[in-house]
Copies of this chain bind each other. A is one copy, B any other.
């Protein structure tokens, strides 16, 4: 028979078993951490009606959409988890209680140009808190805590959550009479890290007709650096000139004030006036998270406050705040950087049992006992040589191998080899279980990510 050459589409991550185990571990930590903060899991369809999904979209986004006809229906695959959330909240408004806190970890689809580290199918891990009409600033103050908890549970230490407030930026540009140009100005300022202050000034003056003195004011403003207290003090100097600015500064003060109570260490947090996060969606606090040793990766967790989640679907005012982790890309980058802890178990089983008797009953009964004790157990009953079976355990990094022969069965013990240390014990079943469990606890001690 002619064979079809098997292949996986480019831009689609398909992991081998060992890295998949690491990915699962990360997802489990995300689910647990998000749950600790009172977020409920949601699972919306991957396919939506195009007219519903694309009610807001346009331009660059629309080009990337996987959109197709099925029968009479014009369908699209979701390209993020925010639009489906907006649809969900608008559709189920009467059945939800607000503030509505949900997390969703799911695949989204964007037909981007394929290149290394760019994915067309990728996981996003989102949390959002949606208010009905109003949403207290405390929610914005809580977000850095969730980011901190998530990344430190994963094992990261050298990361920084950078925070700004769009009201401060908008208020500042309003002071200069630059409100209409603020989108262009922010987009230019966003390039500061890449092109430097002089080039920024040139673009502001030449391309967007900002006056020399205003451009200097802008550069002076975004150059405000220092500890959080120093930045906040410097910002105090701008108060009393624009109401929006003052409100933004008050919000930023609140966010900073509660940091310690929320358990965020000062070194993992910075007020950073250069952060703007896109152009019109965000209206209050905005967040970016960078790995201090890998600034080239960019932000690994971003988001912010918005005033109107679902304006394309409902008249209800639904303000919210949310963040998103681009999980597939993050996982890829961590792998590239050698930051995934190779010491953590990635085997499909904790124990491989090699029955050495014709009658398999004792080996099967032992497997059943181990599983009842919560130990992931595989029986290896294939007709293969002993050496091949040991090599199988070795290749899969299965930490323990149990040999069960007539000798062991007759005296009621189990021969168990620790594959790492090479140490072999002959203990009864319960003692063997205890030893394996202690060993596994030791193996599981490390964090998923190492720096």
CB of A444 within 8 Å of the partner chain: no
In contact, B36 and A312 (Cβ under 8 angstroms): no
User: Which residues on the B side are within 8 Å of A213 (C-beta)?
Assistant: none
In contact, B3 and A24 (Cβ under 8 angstroms): no
User: Which residues on the B side are within 8 Å of A51 (C-beta)?
Assistant: 4
A316-374: which residues lie under 8 A (CB-CB) from chain B? Answer: 347-349, 352, 360-362, 364-365, 367-368, 371-372, 374
In contact, B261 and A365 (Cβ under 8 angstroms): yes
A19-46: which residues lie under 8 A (CB-CB) from chain B? Answer: 20-21, 23-24, 35-46
In contact, A36 and B261 (Cβ under 8 angstroms): no
In contact, A38 and B377 (Cβ under 8 angstroms): yes
CA distance A69 to B258 in the complex (A): 51
User: Nearest Cβ in chain B — how far from A50, in angstroms?
Assistant: 11
User: Which residues on the B side are within 8 Å of A12 (C-beta)?
Assistant: 45, 47
CB of A426 within 8 Å of the partner chain: no
The residue from B4, B14, B23, B382 contacting A55, defined by CB atoms under 8 A apart: B4
A101-120: which residues lie under 8 A (CB-CB) from chain B? Answer: 101-102, 107, 109, 111
CA distance A258 to B372 in the complex (A): 17
The residue from B134, B349, B361 contacting A383, defined by CB atoms under 8 A apart: B134
CB of A8 within 8 Å of the partner chain: yes
A60-106: which residues lie under 8 A (CB-CB) from chain B? Answer: 66, 68-71, 73, 75, 86-88, 90-92, 95-97, 99, 101-102
The residue from B13, B21, B87, B348 contacting A6, defined by CB atoms under 8 A apart: B87
Identify the closest chain B residue to A42 (Cβ): B20
User: Nearest Cβ in chain B — how far from A79, in angstroms?
Assistant: 13
In contact, B379 and A142 (Cβ under 8 angstroms): yes
In contact, A21 and B40 (Cβ under 8 angstroms): yes
Identify the closest chain B residue to A103 (Cβ): B348
User: Which residues on the B side are within 8 Å of A43 (C-beta)?
Assistant: 14-15, 20, 23
The residue from B15, B38, B41, B368 contacting A145, defined by CB atoms under 8 A apart: B368
CB of A180 within 8 Å of the partner chain: no
User: Which residues on the B side are within 8 Å of A90 (C-beta)?
Assistant: 6
Interface, chain A (partner B; CB < 8 A) = 1, 3-9, 12-17, 20-21, 23-24, 35-49, 51-52, 55, 66, 68-71, 73, 75, 86-88, 90-92, 95-97, 99, 101-102, 107, 109, 111, 121, 131, 134-136, 138-139, 141-142, 145, 149, 257-258, 261-263, 310-315, 347-349, 352, 360-362, 364-365, 367-368, 371-372, 374-383, 392, 395-396
Other than the given A12-B45, A37-B378, A38-B378, 13 more pairs (CB < 8 A) read A5-B52, A14-B45, A17-B41, A21-B40, A36-B375, A40-B348, A46-B121, A47-B109, A47-B121, A134-B383, A138-B364, A261-B364, A262-B364
